[in-house]
Amino acid sequence: ALAGVAYIGYGVYQDRNPEPQAEPDPSKKTLVILGTGWGSVSLLKRLDTENYNVIVISPRNYFLFTPLLPSCTTGTIEHRSIMEPIRTILRSKKASVKFYEAEASAVDPDRKVVRIFDTSEVKGDMIETEVPYDMLVVGVGAENATFGIPGVREHSCFLKEIGDAQRIRKRIMDCVETAAFKDQSPEEVERLMHMVVVGGGPTGVEFAGELQDFFEEDIKKLVPEISDRFKVTLIEALPNVLPSFSKQLIEYTESTFKEEKINIHTKTVVKKVTDKTVEAEVTRADGTKEKVTFPYGLLVWATGNAVRPVVKDLMDRIPAQKNSRRGLAVNEYLVVQGARDIWAVGDCAVAGYAPTAQVASQEGNFLARLFNNMARTEALESKVRELSSTLNLQPGNTAEISREIEEYERQLRRIKDVKPFHYSHQGSLAYIGSEKAVADVTWFNGNVAAAGGLTYLFWRSAYISMCFSTRNRLLVINDWVKSKVFGRDLSR
C-alpha cells in the first residue's frame, strides 16, 4: 500500500516544478496569451513552453468547465468541482510560464503591446501597465448579448461565469424563502415562484431542465406549502427551441418540457425588462402581434454572445476587420486578418464555426501544434546554417556534414507543411431535465440523433471524460452521488 501511495505521489509531483524563470530569455520570442478559457487553455496544455517566454493574462485565475455550469445553479454540482486553477495547470509545464491576473483593456498592434489593468482588492487602486509581445493570442471569449434591451443588465442574471451560477443559486432560494414568508399575497407568491428564462439555445434549455429537476426532486419535498406555485417559463424569439439541433430532437425536447411542465413561449421576443416583469411581443399564428407581460421572481438571460470591448477596440484599429461584426476575422491558420503576429481562438474569433467549447479547444490544439512547429523549424534552420558554415571550415568531413544537412532539410520540409485548421465536429449534447438528454452525434461520417435516458448516461460519461483533470472528475462524480443521496443543499 505504501508503495502505491508513493507511486501516486511520484506521479503527481514528478516534473511538476519547472525552474522559475526570473527574467525572460532574450533569445526567445515572447508569446502572450490572453484568456484562460477553452481556447487558451487547450493551447497551453499542448504548447512546448520551453520554446517561448510565455505570459498568460486573464482576470480569471482558473479554467472553468462550462458545459456543467447549468448544474451549478441548483447545487447538483458544487462550483469548485468544475474549476481548475491556472497555476496548477502551468505547474505541469516543462518550462516556467508567467501568469498575471488582470484584464486586457487594449491591444496596440503597431507598438505590439497589450494594455492590462488589475483591479486588485488588496491594493485598492487600479494598477495599469503594458506588456510587450512578439506573438499574441487573443482568447478572451465573448460577453452576454443584451441587444441593448432596456433593463436586462440591471435586472437579469446571466449564465457565463461561476459568479453568475452562484448568484442564480442564491436568487432561487431567495425567491422560495420569500414566497414562504408569512402572509404573502397569492399574486406575490406566484410572481416569486415564477422562474423565467430568455433564450431557447442550449444554455437556456439546459438551465430550464436543471431548474425543474431541482424543484421536483428537492424544493417540492422541503417547501411543500408553496410548491404548486413553482413555474418555469422559457421564452424564445424563433419558432422553436434548440435551433442548431435536428428536427426530431427539437420535437423531443419540446414534448419533454411539456411533460415536465416547463412552459415554452416561442415566437416571443423580449422587448423590455423591469425589476419584476418581462415585457415581450408574441407573433400569433395569423401573423398578428400581441404584447404580453410575465411577472417573475428570477430572470435568467441566455440569448447568446456579443463582442467584448477589448476585441471591438482591436477590430477598430485594423482596417481589414472593418466588415467583421461578430469578432476578429481570422484566416485558416487562425491569424487575425490584417494584423501581424496576432492569432485569435474561441468565441472572440470568427472562423466560420459556432461559438462552442469544442471549436475553441480544437483551435487551441491547432495553435499549439503550429507554434511548436514554428519553433522546431527555426531550430532546424539555424542548425542547417551552422552546419553549412562548418562545411567550408572542415573539408575532411564534407560527406558526413552534407548528409546531416540533408536529413535536417528533409525534416524541415515535413514540418513546414502545416495543414490549415480544420474543425472536426464530434456532435452536440444537451441535458433537458428529468434524466434525459439529446445528442446529435457524428458517427462514422454520418449523423446520429439520440434522445432519452440512455443518452443522459452518454451525456454524463462524455462530460466526465472531458473534465479537465482527474481531481475535477472525482469531485463531479462525488457531487452527483451526494445530491442524489442527500438531496441538493438549499442553504443560501
C-alpha grid cell for residue 197? 428564462
| Closest to ligand NAD by CB, 67 or 327 | 67
Q: Which is nearer to ligand NAD, 224 or 239 (CB)?
A: 239
Q: Which is nearer to ligand NAD, 176 or 437 (CB)?
A: 437
The C-alpha atoms of residue 200 and residue 244 are separated, in whole angstroms, by 10
Residue 132 CB-density burial (10 A; 0-12 exposed, 13-18 middle, 19+ buried): middle
346 backbone dihedrals φ, ψ, rounded to 5°: 80, -155
- 398-416 and 357-393 helices, crossing angle to 10°: 160
H or E element: which one contains 5? helix 2-13
Q: Which is nearer to ligand NAD, 82 or 237 (CB)?
A: 237
- Residue number of the CB atom closest to ligand NAD: 201
Nearer to ligand NAD, 280 or 310 (CB): 280
Is residue 428 classed as helix, strand or coil in its secondary structure?
strand
CB of 271 to ligand NAD, least distance (A): 7
- List, in order, residues 6 or more apart from 139 with CB less than 8 Å away: 33, 34, 35, 37, 39, 40, 43, 344, 345, 346, 348, 360, 364
Residue 342 CA, chain-centre distance (Å), reads 21
- CA–CA separation, 467 and 469 (whole Å): 6
> Under a CB-based contact definition with an 8 Å cutoff, are residues 439 and 459 in contact?
yes
CB of 241 to ligand NAD, least distance (A): 7
Task: Compute the distance between CA of residue 115 and CA of residue 203 in angstroms, rounded to an integer.
Answer: 32
What is the smallest separation between the CB atom of 427 and ligand NAD, expressed in angstroms?
Answer: 9
Nearer to ligand NAD, 35 or 200 (CB): 200
**Closest CB 212 distance from ligand NAD, rounded Å:** 17
Handedness of CA 156, 68, 143, 303 (dihedral sign): negative
Identify the burial level of 258 via C-beta atoms within 10 angstroms of its C-beta, where 0-12 means exposed, 13-18 middle and 19 or more buried: exposed
Q: How far apart are CA 291 and CA 252, in angstroms?
A: 29
To ligand NAD, the closest distance from the beta carbon of 22 in angstroms equals 41
Query: Exposed, middle or buried, 439 (CB in 10 Å: 0-12/13-18/19+)?
Result: buried
Taking the complex as a whole, the smallest distance from the CB of residue 334 to ligand NAD amounts, in Å, to 18
CB of 450 to ligand NAD, least distance (A): 14
Report, in Å, the least distance between residue 290 CB and ligand NAD. 15
Nearer to ligand NAD by Cβ, of 95 and 145: the residue is: 145
Residue 160 C-beta: closest distance to ligand NAD, Å: 8
HSE-CB of 91 using CA atoms within 13 angstroms: 11
Cβ atoms of 86 and 61 closer than 8 Å: yes
Q: 39 or 200, CB closer to ligand NAD?
A: 200
User: Which residues, 6+ apart, have CB-to-CB distance to 37 below 8 Å?
Assistant: 63, 64, 66, 139, 140, 141, 346, 347, 360
Name the residue nearer to ligand NAD (CB basis): 12 or 354: 354
Our CB check for ligand NAD shows the closer of 209 and 338 to be 209
Q: How far is the CB of 123 from ligand NAD (least distance, A)?
A: 35
Residues near ligand NAD (CB under 6 A) are: 67, 149, 198-204, 235-238, 243-244, 269-270, 302-305, 354-356, 428-430
* Cβ atoms 145, 304 nearer than 8 A: yes
